Amino acid sequence: MTGTTEARPHSIAEYVRAYEEEDRLRGFRCPSCGFVTATWGLACSRCGRPGLEETTLADRGRVAAYTIVHVPGEELLNEAPYAYVVVELEGGGRVTGWIAGVADDGGLAIGAKVHRVTSYKPGVQFARDAGTGAT
């Protein structure tokens, strides 16, 4: 493969396959300004250049938002309560995922450092970095 390849939108199946089988988070990068996003667009949302490229997002980031799930769907039935999180990844991109073992609002903080963990469970699983999160 040579040169740059303009990325097309990921299907949900492709996104899931990336983290389940390739152990990475798929994202997009602007070849002009370097803006990185998890969300495909016709053009860069920062500089307007058309033609984003495929990239792999960072595995580390900070919690941007979260909520505690006490009544989960069937797929995470044995994990409740857990935190459903929005993570702002280092270098760009926001993704949703979940963190096991968070039982209440005091168990996690906005801005807490987290990292993605390889998991056989559904969804993108994160864990708190050692020494952060719970206060």
Q: State how far Cα 5 lies from the chain centre.
A: 23
Residue 30's nearest CA partner among 42, 21, 22 is 42
Angstrom distance (rounded) from CA 96 to CA 87? 6
Q: DSSP for 62-106? A: EEEEEEEESS--GGGGGG-SEEEEEEEETTS-EEEEEEET--SGG
Please say whether the dihedral angle defined by the alpha carbons of residues 73, 78, 80 and 83, taken in this order, is positive or negative: negative
Q: Is residue 30 part of the contact set for Zn ion (CB under 5 A)? A: yes
Is residue 103 part of the contact set for Zn ion (CB under 5 A)? no
Among residues 42, 43, 47, 134, which is the contact residue for Zn ion, using CB under 5 A? 47
Tokens of 119: 């998991």
Please pick, from the candidates 15, 24, 32, 79, the single residue that binds Zn ion as defined by CB under 5 A: 32
**Residue 35 is a binding residue for Zn ion (CB under 5 A):** yes
Q: How far is it, in rounded angstroms, from Cα 56 to Cα 29?
A: 9
Q: How far is the CB of 56 from Zn ion (least distance, A)?
A: 18
Determine the size of the site formed for Zn ion (CB under 5 A): 8
33 binds Zn ion (CB under 5 A): yes
46 scored as a contact of Zn ion (CB under 5 A): yes
Is 42 among the residues that bind Zn ion (CB under 5 A)? Answer: no
Which one of 49-57, 70-78, 85-93, 115-123 is the stretch in contact with Zn ion (CB under 5 A)?
49-57
Q: How far is the CB of 29 from Zn ion (least distance, A)?
A: 9
Residues that bind Zn ion (CB under 5 A): 30, 32-33, 35, 44, 46-47, 49
